[in-house]
């Protein structure tokens, strides 16, 4: 099963809901309202850019390597300025922005250090570089234990897709090696309530099935695992936690 651009858009919206409190902390921490030139690297379908248009006075810029995602972003956030480009060689002049940031991007790139260096290049001296959210599947928690194998399978699938599932723990090192200072790194906590929406669970399973659609072990047990997962959620037993890190740093003057 291959996800459509619309399904990816819904997935990006879901990820943005997960990390909303973390972004608010970062926005407040550095005062986003004081900046006018802001770039999202790997903007996808424009979910975070749309948010920025609502909470700041800036006209945000976005760049993504996927033309289909950019087309969707043009509908999602028509006031943003969007470009097709590679994060390893950003199509912008040096020192053009006050802030550059990414959200669930670095795990997907072959050379995350080079991406951070490029994000620094396009920011003015004294400007900010932010990784708003990067997961670390090596710290994943699945409970009940009968569901733990899903995590192992997804790690394997991510590697097969060219992703690096352990990027979260390396953010501090990456930002330091890239030459940023005043670096702050942290991790998003987990919260579970009785108000879990059925649509969220459906979307989660669409992603699982997309990731593991070629895994024979998963396919043989998928129906049983999905029933068990939904039952454990209904009984308020299910814990699924993937540590999600953020990092921020300042470009030296």
Q: How many CB atoms lie within 10 A of CB 195?
A: 5
Cα separation, 130 vs 220, whole angstroms: 41
Residue 137: exposure state from Cβ atoms within 10 A (0-12, 13-18, ≥19): buried
Q: 8 and 43 in contact (C-beta within 8 Å)? A: no
7 or 97, higher pLDDT:
97
Residues 215-222 have a mean pLDDT of: 92
pLDDT at site 25: 94
Tell me: cis bond preceding 144? Omega within 30 of 0 counts.
Answer: yes
Instruction: Give percent of the chain above pLDDT 70.
Output: 100
Q: 8-64 pLDDT, tens per residue?
A: 999 899 899 989 999 999 999 999 888 999 999 999 999 999 999 988 888 899 999
CB 248 within 8 A of CB 130: yes
What is the pLDDT at residue 233? Answer: 93
Q: Total domain count for the chain?
A: 1
Confidence of residue 127 (pLDDT cuts 50, 70, 90): very high
**Is residue 2 predicted with pLDDT exceeding 80?**
no
Q: Report the candidate in 53, 58, 54 with the shortest Cα–Cα distance to residue 36.
A: 58
Mean pLDDT across the chain = 94
Supply the CATH number for residue 43's domain: 3.40.50.150
pLDDT tens per residue across span 90-125 = 999 999 999 999 999 999 999 999 999 999 999 999
Give, in order, the Cα–Cα distances in Å from 224 to each of 10, 101, 146, 153, 220. Answer: 25, 40, 10, 16, 9
Q: What is the pTM of this model?
A: 0.92
Q: 232: how many CB neighbours lie within 10 A of its CB?
A: 17
Closest CA to 16 of 55, 41, 50: 50
Structural domain boundaries enclosing 231: 5-250
Q: Cβ contacts of residue 223 below 8 Å, gap of 6+?
A: none
Cα angle, residue 11 at apex, residues 243 and 71 outer, rounded to 5°: 130
**Alpha-carbon span 178 to 180, nearest angstrom:** 6
**Cα–Cα dist 241/70, whole Å:** 30
**What CA–CA distance (Å, rounded) separates 234 from 62?**
39
pLDDT band at 189 (very low <50, low <70, confident <90, very high): confident
Which two three-digit tokens encode residue 203?
């979307």
Torsion on CA atoms 114, 118, 119, 120, rounded to nearest 10: 100
| Residue 134 and residue 165 in contact, taking contact as beta carbons nearer than 8 Å | no
Q: What sign has the CA pseudo-torsion 134, 103, 31, 28?
A: negative
Which of the two residues, 65 and 3, has the higher pLDDT score? 65
The torsion defined by the Cα of 85, 116, 13 and 80, in degrees rounded to 10, comes to: -50
Residue 1 has pLDDT above 70, yes or no: no
The answer to whether residues 244 and 188 touch, using CB atoms and an 8 Å cutoff, is yes
């Amino acid at each position: 099963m291959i996800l459509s651009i619309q399904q990816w858009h819904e997935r990006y919206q879901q990820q943005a809901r997960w990390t909303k409190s973390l972004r608010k902390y970062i926005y407040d921490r550095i005062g986003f309202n004081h900046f006018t030139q802001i770039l999202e690297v790997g903007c996808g379908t424009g979910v975070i850019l749309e948010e920025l248009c609502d909470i700041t006075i800036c006209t945000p810029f976005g760049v993504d390597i996927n033309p289909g995602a950019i087309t969707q972003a043009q509908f999602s956030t028509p006031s943003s300025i969007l470009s097709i480009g590679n994060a390893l060689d950003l199509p912008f002049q040096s020192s053009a922005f006050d802030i550059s940031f990414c959200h669930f991007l670095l795990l997907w790139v072959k050379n995350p250090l080079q991406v951070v260096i490029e994000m620094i290049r396009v920011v003015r001296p004294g400007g900010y570089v932010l990784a708003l959210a990067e997961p670390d599947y090596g710290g994943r928690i699945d409970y009940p234990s009968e569901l733990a194998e899903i995590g192992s399978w997804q790690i394997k699938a991510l590697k097969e897709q060219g992703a690096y599932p352990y990027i979260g723990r390396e953010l501090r090192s990456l930002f330091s090696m890239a030459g940023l200072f005043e670096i702050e790194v942290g991790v998003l906590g987990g919260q579970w309530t009785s108000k879990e929406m059925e649509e969220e669970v459906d979307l989660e399973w669409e992603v699982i099935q997309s990731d593991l659609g070629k895994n024979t072990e998963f396919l043989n047990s998928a129906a049983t695992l999905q029933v068990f997962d939904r039952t454990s959620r209904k009984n308020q037993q299910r814990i699924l936690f993937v540590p999600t890190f953020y990092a921020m740093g300042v470009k030296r003057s």
